[in-house]
Amino acid sequence: MAQERRFRLESRIAHAGVGQDPLYGSIAVPVYQAVTYQHPGAALGPFDYSRTANPTRRSAEEALGALEGGAGASLFSSGMAAITALFHLLASGDHIILTQDLYGGTYRVLHDVFAPLGLLADFVDTTDPEAVRRALRPTTRLVFVETPSNPLLRVSPLAQLAGLAHEAGALLAVDNTFMTFARQRPLEHGADVVIYSATKYLAGHNDVLAGLLVAGTAELHERVAAIANATGGVLAPWDSFLLLRGLKTLALRLDRAEHNAGRVAESLLGHPAVSQVFYPQEPMLSAAAFVLHASQARGPGAMVAFSLRDPDAVARLMDGLQLIVPAVSLGGVESLITHPYSETHREFPEERRRELGFVPGLMRLSVGIEDADDLCEDLKEALDRL
Ligand SMILES: Cc1ncc(COP(=O)(O)O)c(C=O)c1O
């Protein structure tokens, strides 16, 4: 008998969920819009109650877990619900080290929800392993990293951080929202957990809010699944369907968005209204950071940040754009522009924002799949008018 072939990632992404309908063989995963399931006898069947498990959600979890190369995956009703479940693995008195320039909501949930419950958090420069080593305490249980970070796209060394975390008896979790498993595979660099706002590239169409947590071991997956069941912030069947449907074009979308982002970043570099461009590619990244990124990721992704010379020009820039839409969020097919200082990162105290470089003139672009010339022209025309 011929040996079963293992297909490449792009093929496996396109086939996510295929073969999951035992009844009719439908290619699209059916939406099991059902909460409770008839017991086949005195014992329970494979499904019992949809908070615990739902067939549509299960199909999406199995597909995503396999694509990430993890031992198990859990889907949540948002990225923040997934991050919350991760923090629920910890107990009062435990200490977490996090990337200092990370998504503002992660900062907010720690500050507003978990700090009062006794979790201690230090936000450090995780691009510098020595800074992480200095921040470690006997009670450190988790190192939580975004690389490239949000919004400044700074690169942290995954394998080195995994080594440091493990030496200290802590887990390494990576928020891989910006890169996805199609570009960066943290478990292969020693991470224990990969976490996502699946709202972004994985779903890809700005129409579903979802979170994903992939665990590297079956034991960790079981603990997370128990937390998901106990706390209940799980993904609904229809949203699981939408996520799977969007996921199938991930590789295509990313290729196109990344191509566009490279063009946009280059076009911004030379513009007199722009003082700095952030993109994980030379010359926007230092040679050393670029080598590091290239050693752990397969491409620069499609997020670009840039600073306006005149910080008072933000509103005029937004108003001047005709194609790129001023809106929060990222990773969808439409290009969006965000002002981190007043939007995604406003949760950070003012002084801290300035310290970290989230200055009033900083803009963040999520580059979509439109025509690259249209995007560059839209930006140029709006910048020329400032
Ligand atoms: C990097 C990152 N992680 C987590 C989140 C939170 O995800 P959600 O909005 O799906 O709750 C976001 C949201 O913007 C994000 O950008």
> Do 57 and 196 fall into the same domain?
yes
Q: Give the nearest ligand 1 atom to 329 CA.
A: 14
CA atoms within 13 A on the CB side of 291: 3
Q: What is the mean pLDDT of the chain?
A: 96
Are residues 200 and 120 located together in one domain of the fold?
yes
Cβ-contact 373, 338 below 8 angstroms:
no
146 with 258, same domain? no
Active-site pick, 12, 21, 37, 51:
51
Provide the domain count of the chain. 2
Q: Which of 77, 80, 145, 179 to mutate to test the pocket of ligand 1 (most atoms within 8 A of CB)?
A: 80
Any idea which of 12-26, 115-129, 178-192, 300-314 has the lowest mean pLDDT?
A: 12-26
- Which pLDDT does position 1 carry in this prediction? 56
Query: What tokens does 26 get?
Result: 């439908």
- Does 148 have pLDDT greater than 90? yes
Q: What are phi and psi of 271, to 5 degrees?
A: -80, 130
Q: Is 271 among the domain residues?
A: yes
> To the nearest whole percent, how much of the chain has pLDDT over 90?
90
Within 6 A (CB) of ligand 1 lie: 78-80, 103, 105, 146, 150, 175, 177, 197, 199, 209, 211, 329
Lowest mean pLDDT among 14-23, 50-59, 213-222, 285-294: 14-23
The domain that holds 26 is classified in CATH as 3.40.640.10
| pLDDT recorded at residue 73 | 98
> What does each C-alpha distance from 260 to 120, 126, 290, 303, 306 come to in angstroms?
40, 29, 19, 10, 15
Q: Please indicate, yes or no, whether residues 120 and 243 belong to a single structural domain of this protein.
A: yes
Same structural domain for residues 173 and 300? Answer: no
Question: Which one of 247, 280, 299 terminates a domain?
Answer: 247
Mean of the pLDDT values across residues 36-55?
92
Catalytic hit among 58, 185, 200, 364: 200
Final residue of a structural domain among 223, 247, 271: 247
Q: Where would I find the beta strands (DSSP E) of 116-266?
A: 120-124, 140-146, 171-175, 193-197, 211-215
Which residue puts its alpha carbon closest to atom 16 of ligand 1?
103
Atom of ligand 1 nearest to the CA of 102: 1
Whether the per-residue pLDDT at 136 is higher than 70: the answer is yes
Residue 187 resides in a domain: yes
Same domain, residue pair 242 and 255: no
Above 70 in pLDDT, residue 10? yes
Give the CA dihedral 376, 146, 255, 6, nearest 10 degrees.
180
Set 94, 101, 175, 378: catalytic member: 175
Q: Which domain holds residue 212?
A: 9-247
Contacts 24+ apart (CB under 8 A), 2-9: 9/67, 9/181, 9/182, 9/251
Tell how far the Cα of 197 is from the centroid of ligand 1, in angstroms.
Answer: 5
Whether residue 2 is contained in a domain is answered as no
Q: How far apart are CA 5 and CA 27, in angstroms?
A: 20
Name the residue of 103, 212, 242, 303 to mutate for ligand 1: max ligand atoms within 8 A of Cβ.
103
Q: Does residue 4 sit within a domain?
A: no
330 burial (CB, 10 Å; 0-12 / 13-18 / 19+) is buried
* Residue type for position 197: S
How far apart are the C-alpha atoms of 77 and 159, rounded to whole Å? 30
**Is the distance from CB of 208 to CB of 246 less than 8 angstroms?**
yes
pLDDT over 80 (residue 6): yes
Phi–psi pair at 57, nearest 5 degrees: -65, -40
302 domain-assigned? yes
Q: What is the pLDDT of residues 321-368, one digit of tens each?
A: 999 999 999 999 999 999 999 988 888 888 888 888 888 999 999 999
In this prediction the pTM is: 0.97
Among 247, 272, 291, which residue terminates a domain?
Answer: 247
Cα(63) to centroid of ligand 1, in Å?
A: 21
User: Based on the domain organization, do 239 and 277 belong to the same domain?
Assistant: no
pLDDT in tens, 242-295: 999 999 999 999 999 999 999 999 999 989 999 999 999 999 999 999 999 999
Task: Examine residue 3 and state whether it is found in any structural domain, yes or no.
Answer: no
> CA 340, CA 104: separation in Å to the nearest integer?
9
Question: Does the annotation mark 175 as catalytic?
Answer: yes
More confident residue, 42 or 91: 91
Residue 202 CA neighbour count, 13 Å, CB half? 33
| 317 and 241 within one domain | no
Question: Ligand 1: which of 199, 202, 330 to mutate, judged by most atoms within 8 Å of the beta carbon?
Answer: 199
The residues that bridge with 306 in the sheet, in sequence order, are 277, 363
- Which atom, in ligand 1's list, is nearest to the CA of 210? 10
The answer to whether residues 154 and 236 belong to one domain is yes
DSSP letters for 260-286: HHHHHHHHHHT-TTEEEEE-SSTTTS-
64: phi then psi, degrees, rounded to nearest 5: -70, -40
Whether the per-residue pLDDT at 2 is higher than 80: the answer is: no
Which residues, other chains included, contact 113 with Cβ-Cβ below 8 Å and sequence gap of 6+? Answer: 84
Same domain, 168 and 197: yes
- Per the annotation, the verdict on 378 as an active-site residue is no
Q: Are residue 343 and residue 224 in the same domain, yes or no?
A: no
The alpha carbon of 21 and the centre of ligand 1 are apart by a number of angstroms equal to: 31
Nearest atom, ligand 1, residue 80 CA: 11
Contacts of 328 (CB under 8 A, 6+ apart): 336, 338, 343, 344
User: Within this chain, do residues 75 and 27 fall inside the same structural domain, yes or no?
Assistant: yes
The CATH number linked to 352 is: 3.90.1150.10
